[in-house]
Chain A
Amino acid sequence: MASLVGSRVERKEDKRFLTGKGRYTADINLANQTYAIFVRSPHARASIKKINIDKALKSSGVVSILTGKEIADDKIGGLIAGWAIRSEDGTEMKCPGNPPLAKDNVNFVGDPIAVVIAESLAEAKEAAEKVEVDYKVLKAVTSTADAMNGDTIHEGIDKNLCFDWLLGDRQKVKEAFDKADKVISIDIINNRLIPNAMEPRACVADYNAASEEITLYTTSQNPHLSRLIMSAFGNVAPEHKLRVVAPDVGGGFGSKINVYNEDIVCSWAAKKINRAIKWVAERSESFLTDIHGRDHVTHAELAVTKDGKFLGFKNETIANLGAYARVFGTVTPTYLFGPCATGVYEIPAAYTNVKAVYTNTAPVDAYRGAGRPEATYTIERLVEKASMELGIDKTELRIKNFPTAFPFKQTLVHTVDSGDYVAGMEKAKQMADYKGFEARRKESEAKGKLRGIGVTSYFEACGIAPSAAVMSLGCGVGLWESAEVRFNPTGQVTVYTGSHSHGQSHQTTFAQIAADELGVPIENIDIVHGDTDKGTFGMGTYGSRSLAVGGIAIVNACKKIVEKGKRVTAKMLEANPEDVEFKDGEFIVSKSNKKKTIGEVAFACYLPGVRDEMKSPLPEGDEPGLKETSFYDPSNFSFPAGTHIAEVEIDPETGHVKLEKYTACDDFGRIINPMVVEGQVHGGLAQGIGQALYENAEYDETGQLMTGSYMDYTMPRADNFPEFNIGYTCTHATTNPLGVKGCGEAGAIAAPPTVMNAVIDALGGQEVTMPATAEKVWKACKNLKKSNAKAA
């Protein structure tokens, strides 16, 4: 049987999605359901003096109106930060309370205050407009850079500082800098982004008074984790009385990791009113209240010798957490950022210092890449600047500082098991026709255009992550993953995975893996996920962990099935279990060549007997049935890496940047389905290029979101991109049996510095901040013209 792993198997989920048969949360309607609308703060910072719901209660169709007071009275807990981070001075991070409905203070525009539940959506909306809230408006803090000088947002949190964290050794770095021939320094801003999943968040909560069970259908990347948080911290219901279902989910990008206010409020309220409640975000609510991403202000320095060896690295960053610290809010700018900030280079001394600040803006949390795009942007912008200042070719300078042997002990935390960065660079250069660039630059110049080329070599730490490691660093949970492989008596297989697919194609790729492991046709394998009632537990999907952690759990569970199958076959064919081999779905006794198919074995496990004989196919110690479970805890992160090269052409008269060519050469380890990987790379690149050239979440000084719709927030479109030139090198991960690394975030990690390096190259080294909009680039072009004229 030909192996399915490695081939372009068509997506099993496409038929359903392309024929409109997907079932998303908003598609779910329950009998006798009500509709919820949230009353939200129009102010970025205010204290609530009074809420008057009298008029609203009289509005037609209103079932109930609940506020922060009721939720506090019922002792429903708030939203939490999932990672505890310690400051350099040893003190614990400072987190404010974050009640699901604000009672005394609101801290960003969109912070929910009350929920209005009515018989219809229109009636809920109408009534919500009649809720009167008396605010005392306070001065908002919105700027990342100045947050520490602003008014104190949360009582007792001085300078709005959550923590002041250090990774690395300042003294060693100082010594390295003292020895340097040259110090390259850079000030950069990693612009704030809004994830913009195609499907807005939604939830439908139901209460069954007979079983005293709450069921929550919600747009989540990790239903079990949501249940755990809502139960343990939210006090909504004990875990066994709370079922969380995340059906088809239309994109997450990290924005659907968090348990949100609406999940808790609707679950709690459904029980209170003893009716189902449905809430679906409008797009403007998504803009305001989904977690945002990035938002760093960084000063970084690189100490180098004159022939281009890197000696030391400093990174001083202020990271905006927004109004509250949420699930991955505090780890994203620390352990997901600092370790990767030294990039793919051997740098003997390095440190990263991060001051995480609160502001009156939407909470900032993990968004595709989470910390690693910010890290890669820091080091790769710095290295590109070093190449300009040292006059060393940008690819040569990088190669000079690549590690030469693996495992590579990276400066700050990670031991990278495998890779070949030189091979990746050489292949990328060839794919991009790096050599031919100067000729293309001249052609552009002849047309009055400016052309630039930019390079990024990156690695990232994903496949998160060994539980003991992350819990030692402050994570509140272990990051293993589970799988259950269940045979039916008639031979089909159901695989429950704790990972969650919201665009990652698990239904296909996980089935490919199970088909190869079990020798069962892929049509006979169903991948099931997203329902806490269907599997034991799952940690969910983020940090490119589905395959490298969740996929391995499936492999391990399949291997247990095969082991049992060998024992059963041996018993049935009267052989030694050691003499039974398994191949392509058949158990073969090597000595006699007698065989049983895996279907026959499954059948025998469920129907363990024969007519007229008292005989069981099950060996002593084995129970009937064929189902195995694995809880897989990885031994290390996985480390995809690669080199990307971009070329841009700029029209100096309009400042328009045209991305002419984009080459991505990645090492994702073994590839399960090249078509799916291409899709992931394309999507990641679109978001990464979006960050570099188009996207920006902007608040004004009063904390109003200026980019609250697609009229002002530039989502990139297909015509913004060239045909992507995608290739791979492949070194297998040595830390998992599939040799896989993860591909979900690479594009978003590598693209921003790649594109910006190209833009800045075209602009003769002038800095521009992301996104490189027409006006910024136009201004830089004018400066360039002036300075060229002076030079001439």
Chain B
Amino acid sequence: MKDFNYHSAKDSKEASKLASSSSAFLAGGMTTIPSMKLGLATYKDLIDIKNIKKLSGIKVSGKSVTIGAATKHVEVSNSKDVKKAIPSLSSLAEGIGDPQVRNRGTIGGSIANNDPSADYPSACIALNATIHTNERKIEATKFFKGMFETALKKGELIEAIEFQIPEKSSYQKHPNPASRYAIVGVYVAKHKGDVNVAVTGAKSCVYNDKEMSKALSGNFSSSSIDGMDLDSSEMNSDMHASAEFRASLVVTQAKKAVDAC
């Protein structure tokens, strides 16, 4: 690992001010540190945001669950409030990586990184989330731009993620057996008006599957999507799963999610 300067920011303002084109925020470090160790990324400055009080904690209202960006996966999975309001969100957090990763990794880091096979982005899409930054509020559908790409500008810091509480929801993941990231993860959420079917792992970026959403909005039963033949042409293909297998898994996991709702 190359040498770097370490800063610990007191508040969002300081963190944002310290940011440059060769810096990264240090939340859990579960993505940043391994990338630096492997020489895939080098930064001049790491700006630690874990000590910014405002970024941690979970708040639940009648309509939404708001989670501070620096809240760790383990805190989300253990939170009684989250378990009660959106149980699928707590079980998603429980299924991320392994205990070591969950004890350090944060929701903000996960979303900012926007790994195509990360779990949280699907929750943001399915639960109509709003991403609160130090500058603005961004709707989830406008936040995830592409592979490892988000709407965040340089120095912009996620402060919290606000999830809408659905009537019913479930997240079903087919994990990569090695890394345990999602080969395919499907987050189904039934809201008052409509149903979201957010898919991660299948394509270069998380998306809401319109076809399945429509079918399920009409009839919220796994039979309404059973046997659906999805277009696999844009799906990822790698040594762990072909595009064809992923297309099939998206439907299978969606069915499982609906059945589990």
B258 within 8 A of A: no
B248 touches A698 (CB 8 A): no
Contact B178 A715 (CB under 8 A): yes
Q: Which of B38, B178, B179, B241 contacts A775 (CB 8 A)?
A: B241
State whether the Cβ of A711 lies closer than 8 Å to any Cβ in chain B: yes
How many whole Å from B6's CB to the nearest CB in chain A?
Answer: 16
Is A622 among interface residues, defined by CB-CB distance under 8 A?
A: no
Check if A434 is an interface residue, CB within 8 A of chain B.
no
* Contact residues, A597-655 vs B (CB, 8 A): 653-655
Does the CB pair A778–B245 fall under 8 Å? yes
Contact indicator B178/A706 (Cβ below 8 Å): no
Q: Which residues of B contact A122 (CB under 8 A)?
A: 3
**Chain A hits for B239, CB < 8 A:** 698, 706-707, 712
In the bound complex, residues from chain B placing their C-beta under 8 Å from that of A775 are 240-242, 245
Residue in A closest to B179 when the chains form the complex, CB atoms: A711
B251 closest partner in A (C-beta): A653
A402 at the interface (CB under 8 A from B): no
The CA-CA distance from A193 to B252 in the complex, in Å, is 31
Q: How far is the CA of A775 from the CA of B245 in the complex (A)?
A: 7
CB distance from B138 to the nearest CB of A (A): 29
Tell me if B177 and A694 are in contact (CB < 8 A): yes
* A650 CB, min distance to chain B CBs, angstroms: 13
Give the shortest distance, in Å, between A696 (CB) and chain B (any CB).
9
A284 interface residue, CB < 8 Å from B?
yes
Contact B252 A653 (CB under 8 A): yes
- Determine the residue in chain B with the shortest Cβ distance to A652: B252
**Quick one: closest A residue to B1, CB to CB?**
A122
Nearest neighbor of B184 in chain A, beta-carbon distance: A654
Q: How far is the CB of A450 from chain B (nearest CB, A)?
A: 15
A142 to chain B, nearest CB (A): 15
Provided the pairs A122-B3, A774-B174, A775-B241 are in contact, do residues A710 and B249 lie with their beta carbons within 8 angstroms? no
Size class of the contact patch on chain B: 10 to 19
A235 touches B (CB below 8 Å): no
Cα distance A284–B38 in the bound complex, in angstroms: 9
Inter-subunit contact B248/A778 (CB<8 Å): yes
Interchain nearest-CB distance for A353 vs B (Å)? 32
Q: Which residues of B contact A778 (CB under 8 A)?
A: 245, 248
Residues of A within 8 A of B248 (CB): 653, 778
Closest-CB distance, A694 to chain B (whole angstroms): 6
Q: Give CA–CA (A656, B245) in the complex, Å.
A: 12
List CB contacts (< 8 Å) of A681-718 with chain B: 694, 698, 706-707, 710-715, 717
Interface residues of A in 648-680 (CB under 8 A from B): 653-656
Beta-carbon contact of A654 and B249 below 8 Å: yes
Chain B residues with Cβ below 8 Å from A717 are 98
Question: From residue A702, how far is it (CB to closest CB) to chain B in Å?
Answer: 15
Whether the Cβ atoms of A773 and B178 lie closer than 8 Å is no
Question: Residues of A contacting B176 with CB < 8 Å?
Answer: 711
- B252-A714 in contact (CB<8A): no
| Secondary structure of the B contact surface, majority rule | loop
**Nearest-Cβ distance from residue A709 to partner chain B, whole angstroms:** 8
Nearest CB on B from A452, distance (A): 19
A773 touches B252 (CB 8 A): no
Q: How far does the Cβ of A101 sit from chain B's closest Cβ, in whole Å?
A: 23
Q: Is the CB of A710 within 8 A of B38?
A: no
Contact pick for A712, options B38, B179, B252, B255, CB 8 Å: B179
A712 near B240 (CB under 8 angstroms)? yes
Q: How far is the CB of A75 from chain B (nearest CB, A)?
A: 36
Q: Are A710 and B241 in contact (CB under 8 A)?
A: no
A773 x B177 contact (CB < 8 A): yes
- Return the CB mask of A65-80 against B: 1 if under 8 Å, else 0: 0000000000000000
Contact B178 A711 (CB under 8 A): yes
A655 to B249, CA, bound (A): 10
A284 neighbours in B (Cβ, 8 Å): 38
CB distance from B68 to the nearest CB of A (A): 28
Q: Mark A458-500, 1 if CB is under 8 A from B, else 0.
A: 0000000000000000000000000000000000000000000
Given contacts A653-B252, A698-B239, A712 and B178 within 8 Å (CB-CB): yes
A266-294 near B? 1/0 per residue, CB < 8 Å: 00000000000000000010000000000
Do A654 and B252 touch across chains, with their CB atoms under 8 A apart? yes
Contacts of B179 in A (CB 8 A): 710-712
Residues of A within 8 A of B174 (CB): 654, 656, 774
Q: Whole-angstrom distance between the alpha carbons of A656 and B175 in the complex? A: 10
A698 to B181, CA, bound (A): 20
Question: Distance (Å) between the CB of A79 and the closest chain B CB?
Answer: 28
Query: What separation, in Å, do the CA atoms of A30 and B138 have in the docked complex?
Result: 56
Name the residue of chain A whose CB is nearest to the CB of B178. Answer: A714
Per-residue CB contact flags for chain B residues 153-193 toward chain A (1 = under 8 Å, else 0) read 00000000000000000000010111101000000000000
Chain A residue with the shortest CB-CB distance to B242: A775
* A784–chain B nearest beta-carbon distance, Å: 15
**Nearest chain-A residue to B246 (Cβ)?**
A775
Would you give the 0/1 interface string for B243-261, flagging 1 where the beta carbon is closer than 8 Å to chain A?
A: 0010011001101000000
Nearest-neighbor residue (CB-CB) of A698 within chain B: B239
Taking CB atoms, residues of chain A closer than 8 Å to B255 are 653
Cα-based distance from A778 to B242 in the complex (angstroms): 12
Contact: A713 with B178, CB < 8 Å? yes
Nearest CB in chain A to that of B172: its residue: A654
Within 8 A of B (CB), among A714-739: 714-715, 717
Chain A residues whose C-beta falls within 8 Å of the C-beta of B3 in the assembled complex = 122
How far does the Cβ of B87 sit from chain A's closest Cβ, in whole Å? 21
Chain A residues within an 8 Å CB radius of B245: 655, 774-775, 778
Chain B residues with CB under 8 A of A698: 239
Which residues of chain B are near A711, meaning CB under 8 Å?
Answer: 176, 178-179, 181
Kindly list chain A residues whose C-beta atoms are within 8 Å of the C-beta of B249: 654
CA distance A108 to B244 in the complex (A): 33
Q: Which residues of B contact A715 (CB under 8 A)?
A: 178
Q: Report chain A residues within 8 Å CB of B252.
A: 653-654
CB closest chain-A residue, reference B98: A717
Measured CB to CB, the closest approach of chain A to B252, in angstroms, equals 5
* Chain A residues numbered 773-792 whose CB sits less than 8 Å from any CB in chain B: 773-775, 778
Q: Roughly how many angstroms separate A713 CA and B174 CA in the complex, as a whole number?
A: 17
Q: Hey, which chain B residues are within 8 Å of A653, CB to CB?
A: 248, 252, 255
Give the residues in chain B near A707, CB-CB below 8 Å: 178, 239
Q: In whole angstroms, how far apart are the Cα atoms of A45 and B179 in the complex? A: 30
- Which residue of chain B has the shortest Cβ distance to A282 in the bound complex? B37
Q: Is the CB of A710 within 8 A of B177?
A: no
Return B158 CB to nearest CB of chain A, in Å: 25
Chain B residue numbers with a CB within 8 Å of A655 are 245
Q: How far does the alpha carbon of A653 sit from the alpha carbon of B184 in the complex, in Å?
A: 13
Nearest residue, chain B, Cβ from A651: B252
Max chain B CB contacts within 10 Å: which of A654, A706, A707, A711? A654
In the assembled complex, how far is the CB of residue B40 from the closest CB belonging to chain A, in whole angstroms? 11
Closest to B177 in A: A714
For the complex, what is the distance from the CA of A413 to the CA of B98, rounded to whole Å?
48
Alpha-carbon distance A610/B90, docked complex (angstroms): 80
Chain B's closest residue to A775 (CB) is B245
Which of B177, B239, B241, B245 has the largest count of A CB atoms less than 10 A from its CB? B177
A786 to B13, CA, bound (A): 62
| Between-chain CB contacts (< 8 Å), 12 pairs | A122-B3, A284-B38, A653-B255, A654-B249, A654-B253, A694-B177, A694-B178, A707-B239, A711-B178, A713-B178, A774-B241, A775-B240
Q: Which 3 A-B pairs have the closest CB atoms?
A: A714-B178, A711-B179, A714-B177
- B: residues with CB less than 8 A from A are 3, 38, 98, 174, 176-179, 181, 239-242, 245, 248-249, 252-253, 255
